A and B are shown apart, each in its own frame.
Chain A
Amino acid sequence: MLEIKNLVKKYNTGDLAINGVDLKVEKGQVMALIGPSGAGKSTLIRCVNRLENPTSGEIWLNGENIVKMRSRKLRRARRNMGMIFQEYALVERLTVMENVLSGRLGYVGFWRSFLRKFPQSDVNAAFGLLNKVGLDAMVNKRADELSGGQRQRVGIARALIQNPDILLVDEPTASLDPKTSRQIMRLITELCEENQLAAIINIHDVALAQMYAERIVGLRDGKIVYDGSPDDLKPDVLTEIYGKEDWTAVRKRKPKKDQSEDDITASEEHLAEMQ
Chain B
Amino acid sequence: MAETLSSSPKIWQHRNRNQQLLSWLIWLLGTALFVVCWQKVSESTTWFFVWDAPRIAADIGSRMIPPRWSYINELWEPLWDTLNIATIGTMMAIVMAVPVAFLAARNTTPSTRFVRPIALLIIVSSRSINSLIWSLLLVSIIGPGVVAGIVAISLRSIGFIAKLLYEAIEEIDKNQVEAVTAAGGSRLQVLVYGIVPQILPAFAGISVFRWDINIRESTVLGLVGAGGIGLQLNASLNVLAWPQVTLILILILLAVIFSEWVSAKVRHAII
A78 at the interface (CB under 8 A from B): yes
CB of A114 within 8 A of CB of B183, answer no
Determine which residue in A76, A78, A81, A102 has the highest number of CB atoms from chain B within 10 A of its CB, and name it. Answer: A102
Interface residues on A, range: 20 to 34
Q: How far is the CB of B230 from chain A (nearest CB, A)?
A: 40
Residue of B175, B182, B193, B201 touching A81 (CB-CB under 8 A): B182
A158 at the interface (CB under 8 A from B): yes
Residue of A nearest to B187 (CB): A71
A81 to B179, CA, bound (A): 12
Q: How far is the CB of B232 from chain A (nearest CB, A)?
A: 45
CB of A102 within 8 A of CB of B180, answer yes
Residue of A nearest to B176 (CB): A91
Which residues of chain A are near B84, meaning CB under 8 Å?
Answer: none
CB of B194 within 8 A of CB of A78, answer no
Residue of A85, A92, A106 touching B184 (CB-CB under 8 A): A106
Interface string of A100-144 (1 = CB under 8 A from B): 001111110010011000000000000000000000000000000
A113 to B179, CA, bound (A): 16
A90 at the interface (CB under 8 A from B): yes
Q: Which of B166-213 contact A (CB under 8 A)?
A: 173, 175-176, 178-186, 188-189, 192-194, 197-198, 200-201
Which residues of chain A are near B183, meaning CB under 8 Å?
Answer: 78-79, 82-83, 102-106, 158, 162
A105 to B194, CA, bound (A): 11
A105 to B180, CA, bound (A): 8
A113 to B180, CA, bound (A): 12
Q: Which of A29-71 contact B (CB under 8 A)?
A: 49, 51
Residue of B173, B178, B193 touching A102 (CB-CB under 8 A): B193
Residue of B nearest to A49 (CB): B182
A93 to B195, CA, bound (A): 10
Q: How far is the CB of B181 from chain A (nearest CB, A)?
A: 7
A158 to B175, CA, bound (A): 14
CB of B193 within 8 A of CB of A94, answer yes
A75 at the interface (CB under 8 A from B): yes
Residue of A nearest to B195 (CB): A91
CB of A78 within 8 A of CB of B184, answer yes
Q: How far is the CB of A143 from chain B (nearest CB, A)?
A: 9
CB of B175 within 8 A of CB of A89, answer yes
CB of A91 within 8 A of CB of B182, answer no
Which residues of chain B are near A155, meaning CB under 8 Å?
Answer: 179
A77 to B182, CA, bound (A): 10
Residue of A nearest to B180 (CB): A102
Which residues of chain B are near A98, meaning CB under 8 Å?
Answer: 193
Which residues of chain B are near A83, meaning CB under 8 Å?
Answer: 179, 182-183
A87 at the interface (CB under 8 A from B): yes
Residue of B178, B193, B201 touching A51 (CB-CB under 8 A): B178
CB of B181 within 8 A of CB of A51, answer yes
A104 to B197, CA, bound (A): 18
Q: How far is the CB of B173 from chain A (nearest CB, A)?
A: 8
CB of A90 within 8 A of CB of B176, answer yes
Residue of A87, A93, A102, A168 touching B185 (CB-CB under 8 A): A102
CB of B179 within 8 A of CB of A106, answer no
Residue of A nearest to B188 (CB): A110
Q: How far is the CB of A162 from chain B (nearest CB, A)?
A: 6
CB of B189 within 8 A of CB of A105, answer yes
A102 to B191, CA, bound (A): 12
CB of A93 within 8 A of CB of B200, answer yes
CB of B185 within 8 A of CB of A90, answer no
Residue of B nearest to A78 (CB): B184
CB of A51 within 8 A of CB of B198, answer no
> What are 8 A-B pairs with beta-carbon distances under 8 A?
A76-B184, A78-B182, A83-B183, A90-B176, A91-B180, A91-B193, A102-B180, A105-B183
Residues of A at under 8 Å CB distance from B? 49, 51, 75-76, 78-79, 81-83, 85, 87, 89-94, 98, 102-107, 110, 113-114, 155, 158, 162, 168
Residues of B at under 8 Å CB distance from A? 173, 175-176, 178-186, 188-189, 192-194, 197-198, 200-201
Instruction: Report the 4 A-B pairs with minimum CB-CB distance, sorted nearest first.
Output: A106-B184, A105-B185, A89-B179, A89-B175
